[in-house]
Amino acid sequence: MTVKEAISELTLLQKKMHALSHATGMLYLDSVTTAPVGTAEGRGETMGILSSMGYELFANPATEKLLKFLREHEDELTEQQKREVVVLTREYDQISKIPQDEYVSFRILINEAQSVWHKAKDEDDFPAFAPYIEKIVATLKKFAAYYKPDEEPYNVWLDQYERGLTMSTLGEFFAVLKETIVPLIHRIKNEGRQIDDSFLHGHFPIEKQREFSDYLMEVMAIDRSHCGIGETEHPFTIDFNKRDVRITTKYHEDNLVSSMFSVIHEGGHALYELGKGDELMYTCLDSGISMGIHESQSRFFENIVGRSEAFVNLIYPKVQELFPEQLGNIDAHQFYLAINKSEPSLIRIDADELTYCLHVMVRYEIEKMLFSGDVDVYELPDVWGRLMKEYLGVDVPNDKSGVLQDSHWSGGSFGYFPSYAIGTAYAAQITHRMEQDLNIDSEIASGNLKGIVNWLEEHIYKYGSMYDPADLFFRCCGEKFDPKYFTDYLTKKFTKIYDLNQG
Amino acid sequence: MTVKEAISELTLLQKKMHALSHATGMLYLDSVTTAPVGTAEGRGETMGILSSMGYELFANPATEKLLKFLREHEDELTEQQKREVVVLTREYDQISKIPQDEYVSFRILINEAQSVWHKAKDEDDFPAFAPYIEKIVATLKKFAAYYKPDEEPYNVWLDQYERGLTMSTLGEFFAVLKETIVPLIHRIKNEGRQIDDSFLHGHFPIEKQREFSDYLMEVMAIDRSHCGIGETEHPFTIDFNKRDVRITTKYHEDNLVSSMFSVIHEGGHALYELGKGDELMYTCLDSGISMGIHESQSRFFENIVGRSEAFVNLIYPKVQELFPEQLGNIDAHQFYLAINKSEPSLIRIDADELTYCLHVMVRYEIEKMLFSGDVDVYELPDVWGRLMKEYLGVDVPNDKSGVLQDSHWSGGSFGYFPSYAIGTAYAAQITHRMEQDLNIDSEIASGNLKGIVNWLEEHIYKYGSMYDPADLFFRCCGEKFDPKYFTDYLTKKFTKIYDLNQG
């Protein structure tokens, strides 16, 4: 085999993997947007077959041989080819380390856990779900030992979602948050002014909200010839390649801002995928690098741009044009205050910008305890209640608004939550760096976000998965991740919004 | 290899082929319903890869060996397994008979021909497209010689779309049509009453038409949990399996009946796919058997049911409820007459029930001449004009309303048109047979078409591709295809509608 032949084999292998994942993604998108309700069985059959075709294609000795050969001829590869070999070698090592029967048993466990969780949440019956948490954590600990026998199991899973992230980094991060945000929340409660947001909960016809989504995507400089918008129960972004990205939202007739911030959030994810380099198409590098970096992009647009006064000033004439009866008597500043109202609450996905990360911190503490064995699974509701009281000052009335609220654990995703918080914090530091090149408020005032998007494309998007998240972050920001940018940003913003004494 | 092992290999092969075709179908459906305009490139890449994966999976010596082994152990197979082996052997023989490079060249020719045809039609420029017809026919003749060197090439292609159909059968069929329908059209023109259909061309809001579609599908007893409806430029039906079928329609704000009959027509195709036997799922037998039989099902619902007075009486209260301003003063009988108005016209897809098959006859005559070499491709516009005048009595003003109107030839589909006409005629004979068991008008009057659908399921749908079309037809009707049922039906119906002297 020549290096040239090996490279074309590598390219073809990646194209085939990409095609199978495109197909599976399309079937998934259809299932949550368009498919009739009774069609799950045949789709499951097809997705199962496509997934085993992908497994057979990749997890076989020919791939191992090919990757080994290319590693031995590293000197003859381009930077991108080297990176493809690194990423695929990592994937190959992981896949080949878990015995196939154990992997299949885990998939079956997860399938069962998901339906048990749905029912348990509906019926507020935590004990029904508890044994599944126990079994899933036990399996994940075993798998972690297969992957990296010398590493703490929970660190292994953190690393899955955000390469390089450890409990040591997260410990520092959450400690800083706890020190600054928890007291800030208490000050707002005791000394802050009252903010009226009642006008956000009027009647907002869906047809008008759809027009609003189109407008928001236009302002965000999202190329609609390559990015569609659909409607689903839970908003998400899916990309098939850099020229075919879809976002979804959910409209609530009695709530304007729910879909507004979904669209801006998913739009941020979409811009990342749309901005990747052309040369990465159909390779394993053609996607955002990690959960954390992805979330930094969605949260940047949702919070730092979308909830800024400059952005409200830009879009408010359109908001009033679309909803003259509902918002004709409300001025832009009132609207700005209302969308930034902060109030400790029970449900993570409804939390405001200030309290959001504390919800994540509760989950992080619990995941750590479960992996270290410091908590019995049946004690989780109590632990949950105690932490929510300590961080957010709220009382948890039942498990469905508490420990049962999220689907992640039932899907086997432990170590995933922290990437939401860390990504949110990354965004503040990236903003700080961006401000050295751009005046963000002036960019926004110019009428659309093209200048900001171009900056992000140059510093983040175009690299796709070329660099691990910490490397990419360092390249972009010129320094390591530091949570103080985030806490400073929140402190400054909410001190002003709530008119607190600065001192 | 044991027979049992061979059968599980056969089952797995079919499941994989099915999964790839499900995926490709899904990508296609997305492309015409939802996908943003700039996404064709990546989809083309994926569809190309999936299609070559399917080719590699099927067209290899292992498949040949497997099928041969199973043919040698035919005695140990069930009826269904025997049929799977027959059908797959046929496909294998065909695929392996065309050299792969010639097949690829043909696909490239077709791709080019399709875009040339689009432009030629827009610009009314037949000479630009003519050389493609010539090249496509030459290739199809060559391929036909690979498949069946001893058969007339045009018969080989007729057989592709409707197994067993030959020029001899079609010659008789069209001769009977010409003898009966052409004079009937002339009598209507000279002696028929005037029918007013102006009220069908008012303003019909799309939202109301969507409601109407839902109602029509309900009346047709289509299970919506397994059948969706979308919107596309050209209506069609696609099935992923018997529990996942999608139809599409196109709404015209100034025309109520265009989408109405699209929905009923595609609904007929959908019922066929929804009614196949469970045991056929994920095998090569899990689809309607042929173009002609499929068209018999769609035309049965569109014309024989959908344009009957009983059906109009059933649905007309709902029609008036949805469109009170437009149709409040029109009674059911006026509506019935209007939807059956017959008028020779230029465009096949807009033709009424009576004149439709004559449009097909024009194409059939021309295809025959092209394959026998009896016409030069540049003479086609003249031949077209002459035949349209002879059969329909209309003058063709230009080629875009003439020989350039259909996309089929540019896609390489010669021998396909006749299946539209033959299917339409099958429907009349199937109706005659059904009347021996059911009173169709009473079934309709009962409120929905469940009784009719059940009969069709029992006599046609459930067999999927278990029998070749002529066998299935004979099983259903108890006799061979006879065009007189169709001409009798048309003569009786239109004599009454146009109030002609019966004699």
Choice among A91, A123, A151, A266 that is catalytic: A266
- Cα–Cα distance between B394 and B385 in angstroms, integer? 8
Q: Give the Cα separation of A317 and A313 in Å (integer).
A: 8
pLDDT of residue B503: 55
Helices B167-191 and B356-372: crossing angle, nearest 10°? 140
pLDDT value of residue A239? 97
* pTM exceeding the 0.80 threshold for the entire prediction: yes
Contact (CB<8Å) B19/A227:
no
Please tell me which residue in B84, B162, B266, B443 is annotated as part of the active site.
B266
Give per-residue pLDDT as tens, A390-442.
999 999 999 999 999 999 999 999 999 999 999 999 999 999 999 999 999 99
- Assign A501 a pLDDT band (cuts: 50, 70, 90): confident
Does residue A54 have a pLDDT over 90? yes
* Contact residues, chain A, for B30 at CB < 8 Å: 26, 29-30
State which amino acid sits at residue B357: C
Determine contact, residues A440/A431, Cβ cutoff 8 Å: yes
**Mean pLDDT for chain A?**
96
Does B16 contact A at CB distance below 8 Å?
yes
Please classify residue B427 by burial: count the beta carbons closer than 10 Å to its beta carbon, then call 0-12 exposed, 13-18 middle and 19+ buried: buried
Tokens encoding A479: 């320094």
Give the DSSP letter of residue B309.
H
What span, in angstroms and rounded, lies between the C-alpha atoms of B219 and A382? 55
Residue A192 has pLDDT above 80, yes or no: yes
Confidence band, pLDDT 50/70/90 cuts, at residue A101: confident
H-run or E-run covering B89: helix B79-97
Distance CA A349, CA B466 (A): 52
Q: How far is A50 from chain B (nearest CA, A)?
A: 7
Task: Record the tokens describing residue A366, joined without a space.
Answer: 């619990």
Q: What pLDDT does B100 receive?
A: 83
Of B34, B36, B46, the CB nearest to A23: B46
- Cβ distance A34 to B230 less than 8 Å, yes or no, reads yes
3-state secondary structure of A241: strand
Distances (CA, A) of A414 to A137, A161, A245, A368, A422: 8, 9, 27, 9, 15
Return the pLDDT at A111.
86
Q: The tokens of B74 are what?
A: 């035919």
Q: Do B226 and A15 touch (CB under 8 A)?
A: no
- How does residue A310 score in pLDDT terms, banded at 50, 70 and 90? very high
The residue written with tokens 């797995």 in the block is B12
Per the annotation, the verdict on A134 as an active-site residue is no
Determine the residue of chain B that is closest to A224 in CA distance: B36
State the DSSP string of B413-439: --S-HHHHHHHHHHHHHHHHHHHTT--
How far is B228 from B246, CA to CA, in rounded Å? 5
Q: Which residues pair with B462 in a beta bridge?
A: none
CA distance A263 to chain B (A): 17
Residues within 8 A of A (CB atoms), B 257-296 only:
281-282
**How far apart are the C-alpha atoms of A306 and A312, rounded to whole Å?**
7
User: Do residue B227 and residue A46 have CB atoms under 8 angstroms apart?
Assistant: no
Contacts of B230 in chain A (CB under 8 A): 34
Chain B contacts of A35, Cβ < 8 Å? 228, 244
- Whether the CB of B38 is below 8 Å from some CB of chain A: the reply is yes
Pairwise CB contact (< 8 Å): B282 & A45: yes
Instruction: Give the pLDDT confidence score for residue B502 in this predicted structure.
Output: 66
- DSSP sequence for B118-167: HHHHHTT-HHHHHHHHHHHHHHHHHHHHHH-TTS-HHHHHHHHHSTT--H
Q: How confident is the model at residue A499 (pLDDT cuts 50, 70, 90)?
A: very high
* Contact: A19, B281; criterion CB under 8 Å: no
Write down the pLDDT at residue B111. Answer: 86
Nearest CA in chain A to B19: A46
Q: Which residues of chain B have a CB within 8 Å of the CB of A243?
A: 38-39, 41-42
Torsional sign, CA A182, A184, A187, A188: negative
For residue A503, pLDDT beyond 70: no
For residue A103, what pLDDT band results from cuts at 50, 70 and 90? confident
Q: What value does the mean pLDDT of chain B take?
A: 96
Interchain pair A240, B53: CB under 8 A: no
The reply to whether A52 touches chain B by the CB within 8 Å rule is no
Segments in chain B below pLDDT 50: none
Contacts 24+ apart (CB under 8 A), B245-252: B245/B270, B245/B273, B245/B274, B246/B29, B246/B270, B248/B32, B248/B33, B249/B213, B251/B206, B251/B209, B251/B210
Q: Closest to A46 (Cβ–Cβ): which among B19, B43, B230?
A: B19
State pLDDT tens for residues B279-319.
Answer: 999 999 999 999 999 999 999 999 999 999 999 999 999 99
Give the three-state DSSP class for B289. coil
CATH code of B201-341+419-482, in short, is: 1.10.1370.30
Q: Which of residues 220 through 249 in chain A touch B, CB cutoff 8 A?
A: 223-228, 230, 240-241, 243-244
User: What distance in Å separates residue A393's CA from the closest CA in chain B?
Assistant: 46
Question: How many C-beta neighbours within 10 Å does residue A107 have?
Answer: 13
Compute and round to an integer the Cα radius of gyration of chain B.
23
Q: Is A43 on the interface with B (CB under 8 A)?
A: yes
- Rounded CA-CA distance B94/B89 in Å is 9
Percent of chain A with pLDDT over 70: 100
Chain B residues within 8 A of A37 when measuring between CB atoms: 225
Secondary structure (3-state) at A134: helix
